Structure 1
Amino acid sequence: MAKVNRARSTSPPDGGWGWMIVAGCFLVTICTRAVTRCISIFFVDFQTYFSQDYAQTAWIHSIVDCVTMLCGLGFALCYSPAIAMVGKYFSRRKALAYGISMSGSGIGIFILAPVVQLLIEQFSWRGALLILGGFVLNLCVCGALMRPITLKDDQTTSEQNHVCRTETQGFQRASPSLTWTKEWVQTCLCGSLQQEYNFLLMSDFVVLAISVLFMAYGCSPLFVYMVPYALSIGVSHQQAALLMSILGVIDIIGNITFGWLTDRRCLKNYQYICYLFAIGMDGLCYLCLPMLQSLPLLVPFACTFGYFDGAYVTLIPVVTAEIVGTTSLSSALGVVYFLHAVPYLVSPPIAGWLVDTTGSYTAAFLLCGFSMIFSSVLLGFARLVKKMRKTQLQFLAKESDPKLQLWTNGSVAYSVARELDQKDGESVAIAMLGSNPA
């Protein structure tokens, strides 16, 4: 195979071939996330054909979502790398680039939902799945657009790893029988892994990871039970598919407009808060859903939930990059999407079990709503505690030594008093030398 030429850049280009990367990621989200979410349209057909309850049927959707986020199999090989590539090519316009990229999910739902319902009616659910499989083959085209780029930080890390490998090979040739050669190899490998995943020890990332677990639990069941819930209150099949289309198109608007808004100067420093707000709003929508018993009431719900779903999905990579930086973004995003796996696996069956047990969707929707609200509150509380600690450190530093300066992260950077003392010592030494020419 021909060797791939890597584009070299000291910083993300914020344009150029980056827009082709955005286009590729856009198509990837259509072929992965949109197709996955449209599986809910098959829910009633699966339930009828296999004669299973809600909990058993929900495993079909939950396993697809779980494997996408958990393994290196199937959609996972396309989804996470495509998102990470966008973060490599964009810095100043990162939120907008992610907004356009992630809007593929909404556009895909908007187009595919009525089309899938039509395919089911014309060719049965088996034929519809076969046609969707052929559509997903377009992922091969998306992969052809992905051109690797090497940034300054990545090049430094690569050079360090290359030096480590060179030294290891030299030691192996010089003394292949020595046991400490193996120890040197293990040390190099551990050092590389530690450098790649050192963000796992960051308190901010740990809090983000915990909040992602609760957020992922809440967001998944709606895309499984939206159509069955609408059918249960008397909405027709075509109208239920239309609700999914509405949710999808508003999701697009949320992706792009929220990404554009949070890139503005007035909101650039508040992207974290915007992320919390979007998750909390989706949680509130869940709490109101059991009271909506007609199509005219479900349409505003689909608009509101879809908008804020698109908003926080856009900001997940942005918030992750803010915490870990661009160099570790690919690995950090892999961990973040990996954490979606378990909630995606268990939340639809749990919601289905609640529906089977209670005979109503109320308990399932309320549990999802409170889970998303808790995710938002947890992140907000952690940010508040961090801000209070920083303020307290600054206050204590001023009380103990007015000359002691602090960086914005609250850690002591250097002492001005020490620097002044050093300069005084240098001045005395120069004066002594001047008085003694010999």
Structure 2
Amino acid sequence: MTRPSDTYRWIVVASAAAMLAIVMGQLVNGLSVFFIPLEQEFGWSRGSIALINTVGLIGVALGGIVMGRVADRAGIRLVCLVAAMAVGLGVGGAAFADQLWQFYLLFFLAGALGAGALFGPVIAAVGGWFPAGAGLAIGIASAGQAIGQGGVPFVAAYLIEALGWRGALLALGGVSLTALVPLALAMREPPPVRPMAGRATAARQTPTGLTPHRTLFTLSLAVMLCCTCMAVPLIHLVPLIQGYCIPAPEAGGVLFAMLIAAIAGRVAFGKLADVIGPVGAYLAASLWQTVGVFAFTLIRDLPMFYLFAPIYGFGYAGVMTGVLVTARALVPADRRAMHMGIILAFGWLGHALGGYQGGLFFDLTGGYTVSFANAAAVGVLNLMVVGSLLLRVRRQAALAAA
């Protein structure tokens, strides 16, 4: 088999970033600008609407485990094509829904067969093209998600004003189908790695001294906690700002500014992971996120939101890059595909939990203070888990050097 040119790996990175922008922008927090239109038309509670996003993320979690194994057998291109169809038809189909259960079903399927099928296999493919310097490559690819998480709500807010919420969903579904299919066809499997002596033994070693199962448990717990924290501003920042009588396009603009800064953050923390190690970069980003998340509830005017959101966004964005490069570094190579799917599944479950509790406590208290305080508290728990993991990695490294 002819080895593709090394330049093609950057085409894979660019295609991965674009697909993650379109898919994850809709499934992670694209619903945020639809809260108030759905609330006004149907009279549903904020918690019930947030549950649409939660159910979609549960689909992402379950789909990531199942479709990761499918990708190992069927190939990355076929999986990406399935994801393109699922997201385009699921989001577009939601334009015709008028019952909550219909939204729940459509977003679950779009999550399971779309985002869940795409995220883990695409990141694994990018990492496979870069035996060295994978942190930077993964940071660039995952930056696409940040672009989408800011760009999709921003564009959707204007689409809602121009076309109504049904027209906006239909437009998003059509754009997804049109853009994702050619991007999926551009994906290609990484070149095979020639087996080396001792490779089988090295594949089962971890730099923590923990067993693979305990490493998996620790990373899954950390990812669930950090994603529970980050979900609250991603899902509820726009309605929080709208609560101060600020129109949806301006509120969406704050989220867009935050996630534009997140593009640079993802790349920067990917490079930082190559320099100081993945766990250290993950801890630094988690600390940034935890310290900043509650501050959103202390701001009341639009200029201050625009000032603070990019500062928060740059640091919070490094969390996902840290998760991905840490998992790649600590999971044994011969179990990486399966374990990566499980770890990411807990991350999406954390997103689902954080987004839902944000809406639930808004309904209970009439404001977002408790919701964002919960996010900060969970962030502190995550710092404890990641901090203990970093200490263990450094201790193991010292023992190996002795």
**2:109 paired residue number:** none
The correspondence of residues 4-403 of structure 1 with structure 2, limited to 5 A, is 7=3, 15-36=6-27, 37-71=29-63, 72=67, 73-137=113-177, 138-148=179-189, 149-153=191-195, 201-263=212-274, 268-385=275-392, 387=394
Question: Does structure 1 conserve the Cα–Cα contact (< 8 Å) formed by 2:229 and 2:378?
Answer: yes
Given the superposition, is the C-alpha separation of residues 23 and 154 from structure 1 closer, same or farther in structure 2, using an over 3 Å criterion? Answer: farther
How far apart in 2 are the matches of 1:200 and 1:340?
21
Q: How many residues align?
A: 344
Given the superposition, is the C-alpha separation of residues 387 and 74 from structure 1 closer, same or farther in structure 2, using an over 3 Å criterion? Answer: closer
How far apart in 2 are the matches of 1:59 and 1:278?
27
Question: Does structure 2 conserve the Cα–Cα contact (< 8 Å) formed by 1:285 and 1:301?
Answer: no
- TM-score w.r.t. length of structure 1: 0.72
Question: Does structure 2 conserve the Cα–Cα contact (< 8 Å) formed by 1:200 and 1:206?
Answer: no
Question: Does structure 1 conserve the Cα–Cα contact (< 8 Å) formed by 2:241 and 2:251?
Answer: yes
How far apart in 2 are the matches of 1:121 and 1:99?
34
How far apart in 1 are the matches of 2:198 and 2:172?
43
The superposition leaves residues 120-159 of structure 1 with CA deviations (integer Å, 9 ceiling, x where unpaired) of 11111111101111121122222212222322359999xx
How far apart in 1 are the matches of 2:197 and 2:43?
56
Deviation at 1:214, TM superposition (A): 0.9
RMSD: 2.7
How far apart in 1 are the matches of 2:195 and 2:25?
34
**1:176 paired residue number:** none
**1:400 paired residue number:** none
Which residue identity lines up with residue 150 of structure 1 in the other structure?
P
Given the superposition, is the C-alpha separation of residues 80 and 241 from structure 1 closer, same or farther in structure 2, using an over 3 Å criterion? Answer: same
Which residue identity lines up with residue 228 of structure 1 in the other structure?
P
SS in structure 1 of the partner of residue 277 of structure 2: helix
SS in structure 2 of the partner of residue 91 of structure 1: coil
Which residue identity lines up with residue 182 of structure 2 in the other structure?
V
Question: Does structure 1 conserve the Cα–Cα contact (< 8 Å) formed by 2:278 and 2:329?
Answer: no
Runs of 4+, deviation exceeding 6 Å: 154-157
Greater C-alpha radius of gyration:
1
Given the superposition, is the C-alpha separation of residues 356 and 390 from structure 1 closer, same or farther in structure 2, using an over 3 Å criterion? Answer: same
How far apart in 1 are the matches of 2:197 and 2:125?
16
SS in structure 2 of the partner of residue 98 of structure 1: helix
How far apart in 2 are the matches of 1:81 and 1:236?
38
Task: Name the structure with the higher helix share.
Answer: 2
How far apart in 1 are the matches of 2:223 and 2:126?
21
Question: Does structure 2 conserve the Cα–Cα contact (< 8 Å) formed by 1:28 and 1:79?
Answer: no
SS in structure 1 of the partner of residue 114 of structure 2: coil
**1:436 paired residue number:** none
How far apart in 2 are the matches of 1:154 and 1:341?
35
Question: Does structure 2 conserve the Cα–Cα contact (< 8 Å) formed by 1:70 and 1:341?
Answer: no
Given the superposition, is the C-alpha separation of residues 86 and 59 from structure 1 closer, same or farther in structure 2, using an over 3 Å criterion? Answer: same
Question: Does structure 2 conserve the Cα–Cα contact (< 8 Å) formed by 1:116 and 1:128?
Answer: yes
Given the superposition, is the C-alpha separation of residues 153 and 221 from structure 1 closer, same or farther in structure 2, using an over 3 Å criterion? Answer: farther
Which residue identity lines up with residue 147 of structure 1 in the other structure?
R
